Structure 1
Amino acid sequence: MSIIFNEQDKSFTLTNGRIQYVMQLFLEGYLGHIYFGKALKSFNIKRAFYQTEREGAPNPAKHADARIFSLDVLPQEYSVYGSGDFRIPALEATLANGTTTLDLRYHSHEIFSGKKDLANLPSSYANNDDATTLEITMREVAGDLEVVLSYTIFNDVDVITRHARIKNLGQDPIALRKAASLTLDFPTDEMDRISLWGKHAFERNIERTPLNHGIEIAASSRGATSHQHQNFLALCDRTTTEFTGDVWGCSLVWSGNFEAATEVNSFGNTRMVMGINGFDFKWMLNHDETFTTPEAVLVFSTDGLNGMSQNYHRFVQDHIVRGVHKNAVRPVLVNSWEAAYMNFTEDSIVKFAKDAVKLGAELIVLDDGWFGVRDKDNCSLGDWTILNQKKLPNGIKGLCDRIHDLGAKFGLWVEPEMVSPDSELFRAHPDWAIGVPNHERYQQRCQYVLDLSRQDVRDYIVESICQVLASADIDYVKWDMNRNLTDIGSFAYGKEQQQEIATRFVFGVYDIMKRITEAFPNMLFESCAGGGRRFDMGILCYMPQTWTSDNTDEVCRQKIQYGTSLIFPPITMGCHVSACPNHQVGRSTPMLSRFICAMSGSFGYEMDLGKLPEAEQAEVAQHIALYKELRNTIQFGNFYRLMSPFEGTQNETAWQFVSKDGNEVILMYFRNLCQPQGNIRKLRLVGLDENATYEVTHHMYNQSLACNALDYLCNYKLEGDTFSGDELMHFGVNMDKVDRDFAAYLISFKRK
């Protein structure tokens, strides 16, 4: 692994032997992007960028006669507004003299082992042996602005992280109007654009379209990553598939407003810009102050979308998630929400827990309704230290101890970032909620957002939540966030800083998460934001798993989990079985199908297991026992997508897990709607040892319901059968003919 500066041709090369990133200094210090892709044996950089005159492309003053050099066609490392580049800028600022033209030139650079933490921001981490960092300092020609571009390349994973530090060297304030994390230019427009869109209860749907001329943007201005768009973007060759072809992915270690934009210009070049959303953004930068952009995570793969995802999964697990739970097996969880909502007592929760523990559950979670007078979701948020004595006469500790006596762990729900208008906290501190003068605040779910830009508000949250968490031997916390930001303003800041509040809010989220999680390092924290509103690498730096979606319907979850897996490993996904008819879509699906889908992550239940018929309780016990047997491979193995619910008939999904040592393989297949005289699906596995033999250890599928179903299925049991690795990968294995809707299949193998 190396980063080399070539003095002769003024080039920078970053490589780990598998990927390579090349930059070059042009003329009087313009920093151009030359190449990002597969590591090359040699590179003729002199011929890498073809220069020619382009009509309408301005030339720097010293090169006006040559006419062949223009920032409007130069592939750049960090684009700015005003000096001849008409494409999307990464940086916009209003200087002290009121002008907005910027002209950045190379000043210096530094190369060092390892990587530094980012100021006030979560970021990836690495030891000195794991990564090498290049920092290139650029200066604005007028001398008042400095931009340090940081690049870290990792040895163990094909990732380059980038961010920028923008510093005011002048005496007068500068107003940043846009400060993206990166620019990445491509010499072609013959690529597809892949993004993830959604809505509440239907997050992270994959959308792949050819690049179009002009600007295309996926963004959030909601104060959080959002259900609607993910802070992720990929570009790939038009022939790229799941396992073949070149793909470039980018995601942000950030949990607030973002913008992921592409622009195809008239010359067939493509620019990608990603970072904080410039919409309604301003940051006042005073003398000697620095603004640091969120970290961007760049991945390149020649092995298609699967190769991109494998790199993201390893990176998240090895360089984002941290703490004692990083490599710890996650427990089987049962949550009280859909079982009881806010109608419970200590005794009813204990009974709920007994029934679950009897079937194998390991962690019991008490959801909303334990504090204040919260019998509905219209009050008491913020009153965390006011316990609901009517429901919990012996306090959190009394309930926690009784759950522990059953042999299970105990977890608790909180929503620290919100406040109810009907609460003791809001009555005492109405100015602590985000809002603007002379406007009534808008409500969502009968709640406001606390102003986390304020130190006093953050201190109150940390103190009150820590008081609750210290009151008992709590093992787990579900940290919720159930609304977007509106009326964005703060009563603690002046008019020049009001457009900083949405960004300062996210910094505040990170501050309270860091302080609380560090105060309880052994506690397992799971992030939730109305489901998947804030599933991003920023939050995963503090909490090792996230509730993937409020929608637990097995059919919907196939798409939600499949799309999420483009970036995030299954261990980070909270995936639960819920009761039928499903609370979100009203659909009824078999218990086995719900189980197979939900077991593909950090597994649990959103239902009262004690209310199930005895036969279903026995089935649940069998499922939990099976998950415990297989979960090490599911949580820590390699994940492969085999059939996409977004392609083909959109009626089938298949994915696969392979343990890190290659000894265990788990295949899952879903077929949602039964077709008359349907095809027999043959699936070819991946990631196996071609020379090995694999024995089937489990073979599970739904029973047929059709009136003409024959007895042949009773004889089609694969347990004990053996297959060669090359047979499974090149010929495949047949899925059973099950005549019913919402069929799911699980086959596990052991290498002999």
Structure 2
Amino acid sequence: MHLVTPLATADAAARRWLLRTPATSYVVGLDAGDAPRCLHWGRALTAEQAAALVAPATAGASSFDSATAGDEELVTEAGARFETPSLQVAFPGGDRGIDWRFEGHDVEGGHLTLRFADRRHPFLVELHYRVYAGSDVIERWTVLRSALPVTVLRCDSAAWSVPILRDYRLSHVTGGWSAEHALRRTVPVVGETVLTGRRGVSGHHANPWLMLDGGDATETHGEVWSGALAWSGSWRITVTRGPAGRAGWTGGAGHEGLTFRLAPGAEWVTPTFAGLYSAHGYGGASRAWHHHVARHVLPEPDEPRPVVYNSWEAVGFEVNEANQLRLARLAAEVGAELFVVDDGWFGGRVGDRAGLGDWWPNRERFPGGLAPLIDEVHRLGMRFGLWVEPEMVNPDSDLYRAHPDWVHHTPGRPRTELRNQLVLDLARPEVADQVRKWLHELVGEHEIDFLKWDFNRALTEVGPDGRAWHDHVRAVYAILDQLRADHPGLRVEGCAGGGGRTDLGMMARTDQVWTSDNTDAHDRIAIQRGFSQVYPARVMAAWVTDSPNPLTGRVTPLSFRFHVAMAGALGLGGDLLAWSPEELAEAARLVAVYKDIRPVVQFGQQYRLDGGVQYSGGDRVVVLAWRGPVAFGGPRIPLRPAGLDPLGRYRDEDTGDLHHGAVLMASGLDLGLDGGDYASALVRLRKEG
């Protein structure tokens, strides 16, 4: 990807604007009624070429058709518009819909702002666009301002249009708890396909990103248009495929029914909804997303993610100072760099029925507080981390007994308990302030290097004002932002019962995310493949745990578990106290191997292969290959690396064998994975010459 200066340029006479990225262009223009329309999103255009674009006709074929072409930048309800609305507002008296009147624009480097007013009411809408040097991602968001009280029924961040294609294919993920990121590729219906999360988090069951192509894209070839929403609460993306052949989507925070009042003089700013065009297939789109997330989303992108040991699967709620000290010593011996104490260290937390909200060390389990354990972990050369669930409270807790009104609830109705807990109402400033204060004290007083921030149930009884769903998430963001500002050395892992808060909004405030509570290596292959469509390996926490697996009961070799987890930010979560000396020695060897390949895995370019994954960085290439259960007599398919220099020569760092790049990509590597079920291999190549 060659770098160009990102520009948002204006053609005042034609009333159109060109946004340029290194490999793509985006052109927005105004029609005769001042409605903003997408004129082009795709391959790079010059200013002269952009000026030559002709907008498609807007008149419908009949009086039952929409008068628009399905390419508006934010669809309203005014006039004969029958596409999915992006912006729905009700003015005093019941008047709905925005009749666009262009007010002006601002261009500052890569940031374009288009300003509009409604022709009847003192109501303002700003459409924002931003591009960055070296990134093909375009960020968009919307700002509302009103001089009179209005009811906002829906306010998406942006609507995105793709060219008219012969056919379309939609890519997204589905799943559930411990089954996140299951990749789906389907033909979108003519009509509306709604992807949504209604649980107050981005979700296990879906995730706020999508891709559209013409049905002919592959990992390596074809045009792909994609979008990802930077939001960690409820969300909705509606894909529309019109009868005339046009397709696109609109999306943003919230779900249906979450209306709220916008007071006179108030401002509403949506989260960012980013879009990306790639001419290089799904793999090219993914690598472009990975690059953007690393350079323009993550707070500390260039830090190697440490090898974590987390004690949860070893001891569960039976955590105490003695077993944590024993585990810490073993973790240090196998090469862990960060030791994390999970749930059960605080208050009356001896199970999941009590203690949430009482964030001080349990004196029966830690008689001297946390200091002796933290000191020993630091002496062993590791950093120290704690599991916390700041947004939650058990009814059986001192906090709840003192402040029963601090939770989301509907007066006069039962309070829904999920996992025996309730959710603190962080939309209330006094509640959010209390959470911020105890986190600040915990981190500052105990030399905490790392927090695993969890969220283990969905939101319910959030209240009559729909903005509380938004305000809760914004409070979480504000607390994390302040905590990191106050403690610059603190690192954070985002978690919500596994991958329930995997999104660009959370990644802007955390260093990695917990991918799934399912640590079964065989299941993780598919989970991690779906995760990698948009999110980079460096943020994908992946543990090696016990066999049989605690969740699935599946028995797999230790090397297989390691090779799968090495594809992300490696962690250990097994009961090291029960591992044999041989297993501990093998683990130490494999951790050392991971530390050698970590710069390539975490900072290189990822290529999804048939039967594995490849990372390329500098002159090194790392291939991780695996296979699950196989049928007798099935073909042994060589694994074909990708993205190599066809004229280059590559030396196997472990065997010394020399390979030609063109031969590897054409004939593949015969890895000899015939050692039974759950065989795996790691290949390290270095380019010579």
* 1:31 is aligned to 2:27: no
* 1:229 is aligned to 2:206: yes
CA–CA separation in structure 1 for the residues paired with 2:528 and 2:507: 17
- Match for residue 417 of structure 2 among 417, 432, 443: 443
Structure 2 unaligned residues grouped into runs of 5+? 1-5
- Match for residue 222 of structure 2 among 237, 242, 245: 245
Matches within 5 A, 1:469-618: 469-489=443-463, 498-618=465-585
Q: Do 2:338 and 2:385's aligned partners in 1 also have CA atoms closer than 8 Å? A: yes
* 1:185 is aligned to 2:161: yes
CA–CA separation in structure 1 for the residues paired with 2:408 and 2:53: 55
Q: Corresponding residue for 1:709?
A: none
> Aligned partner of 2:280: which letter?
D
Matches within 5 A, 1:593-672: 593-643=560-610, 653-659=611-617, 661=618, 663-672=619-628
Structure 1 unaligned residues grouped into runs of 5+? 59-69, 114-131, 490-494, 644-652, 699-718
3-state DSSP class of the match of 1:281?
A: coil
CA–CA separation in structure 1 for the residues paired with 2:15 and 2:95: 31
- Match for residue 137 of structure 1 among 99, 115, 137: 115
CA–CA separation in structure 2 for the residues paired with 1:46 and 1:407: 61
Q: Do 1:397 and 1:471's aligned partners in 2 also have CA atoms closer than 8 Å? A: no
* 1:105 is aligned to 2:101: yes
CA–CA separation in structure 2 for the residues paired with 1:50 and 1:355: 69
Matches within 5 A, 1:296-311: 296-311=273-288
Alignment length (residue pairs): 680
CA–CA separation in structure 1 for the residues paired with 2:455 and 2:22: 42
Moved more, 684-693 or 70-79: 70-79
- Match for residue 645 of structure 2 among 681, 686, 689: 689
> Aligned partner of 2:44: which letter?
A
Q: Do 1:152 and 1:162's aligned partners in 2 also have CA atoms closer than 8 Å? A: yes
> Aligned partner of 2:631: which letter?
Q
The CA deviation string for residues 545-567 of structure 1, in whole angstroms up to 9 with x for no partner, is 00100000011100111100001
Matches within 5 A, 1:425-444: 425-444=399-418
Q: Corresponding residue for 2:668?
A: 732
The CA deviation string for residues 220-245 of structure 1, in whole angstroms up to 9 with x for no partner, is 11111010010001111211101100
Matches within 5 A, 1:203-214: 203-214=180-191
Matches within 5 A, 1:194-343: 194-322=171-299, 325-343=300-318
3-state DSSP class of the match of 1:404?
A: helix
Q: Do 2:57 and 2:69's aligned partners in 1 also have CA atoms closer than 8 Å? A: no
Q: Do 2:645 and 2:662's aligned partners in 1 also have CA atoms closer than 8 Å? A: yes
Are the structure 2 counterparts of residues 421 and 737 from structure 1 closer, same or farther at C-alpha, using a change threshold of 3 Å?
A: closer
> Aligned partner of 2:134: which letter?
D
Matches within 5 A, 1:27-176: 27-41=32-46, 42-43=49-50, 45=52, 47-56=54-63, 71-73=67-69, 75-113=71-109, 132-168=110-146, 170=147, 172-176=148-152
3-state DSSP class of the match of 1:395?
A: coil
CA–CA separation in structure 2 for the residues paired with 1:432 and 1:511: 18
1:44 deviates by: 6.4
The CA deviation string for residues 600-646 of structure 1, in whole angstroms up to 9 with x for no partner, is 11111111223211211111111111111111111111111112xxx
1:394 deviates by: 1.2
1:48 deviates by: 4.0
Moved more, 288-297 or 186-195: 186-195
3-state DSSP class of the match of 1:347?
A: helix
3-state DSSP class of the match of 1:309?
A: helix
> Aligned partner of 2:89: which letter?
A
> Aligned partner of 2:538: which letter?
I
3-state DSSP class of the match of 2:142?
A: strand
Q: Do 1:201 and 1:531's aligned partners in 2 also have CA atoms closer than 8 Å? A: yes
* 1:365 is aligned to 2:340: yes
CA–CA separation in structure 2 for the residues paired with 1:424 and 1:47: 66
CA–CA separation in structure 1 for the residues paired with 2:382 and 2:54: 66
CA–CA separation in structure 1 for the residues paired with 2:237 and 2:397: 38
- Match for residue 396 of structure 2 among 415, 422, 432: 422
Moved more, 371-380 or 517-526: 517-526
Q: Corresponding residue for 1:345?
A: 320
> Aligned partner of 1:260: which letter?
I
Are the structure 2 counterparts of residues 295 and 611 from structure 1 closer, same or farther at C-alpha, using a change threshold of 3 Å?
A: same
1:51 deviates by: 4.9
CA–CA separation in structure 1 for the residues paired with 2:178 and 2:81: 41
Q: Corresponding residue for 2:3?
A: none
Are the structure 2 counterparts of residues 680 and 99 from structure 1 closer, same or farther at C-alpha, using a change threshold of 3 Å?
A: same
CA–CA separation in structure 2 for the residues paired with 1:697 and 1:289: 61
Are the structure 2 counterparts of residues 10 and 57 from structure 1 closer, same or farther at C-alpha, using a change threshold of 3 Å?
A: farther
1:46 deviates by: 5.3
> Aligned partner of 2:76: which letter?
V
CA–CA separation in structure 2 for the residues paired with 1:227 and 1:620: 30
Moved more, 14-23 or 215-224: 14-23
1:283 deviates by: 2.2
CA–CA separation in structure 2 for the residues paired with 1:462 and 1:566: 34
CA–CA separation in structure 1 for the residues paired with 2:283 and 2:127: 29
CA–CA separation in structure 2 for the residues paired with 1:688 and 1:586: 39
The CA deviation string for residues 271-317 of structure 1, in whole angstroms up to 9 with x for no partner, is 31111234121121111211011101101000001111111101111
Moved more, 236-245 or 40-49: 40-49
Q: Do 2:70 and 2:247's aligned partners in 1 also have CA atoms closer than 8 Å? A: no
Q: Do 1:177 and 1:278's aligned partners in 2 also have CA atoms closer than 8 Å? A: no
Moved more, 729-738 or 312-321: 729-738
Using structure 2 for the length normalisation, give the TM-score. Answer: 0.96
CA–CA separation in structure 2 for the residues paired with 1:185 and 1:679: 43
* 1:397 is aligned to 2:371: yes
3-state DSSP class of the match of 1:683?
A: coil
* 1:409 is aligned to 2:367: no
CA–CA separation in structure 2 for the residues paired with 1:24 and 1:500: 32
CA–CA separation in structure 1 for the residues paired with 2:519 and 2:430: 38
CA–CA separation in structure 2 for the residues paired with 1:373 and 1:11: 62
Q: Percent identity?
A: 31
Q: Do 2:75 and 2:85's aligned partners in 1 also have CA atoms closer than 8 Å? A: yes
Using structure 1 for the length normalisation, give the TM-score. Answer: 0.88
CA–CA separation in structure 2 for the residues paired with 1:623 and 1:514: 35
CA–CA separation in structure 2 for the residues paired with 1:508 and 1:750: 47
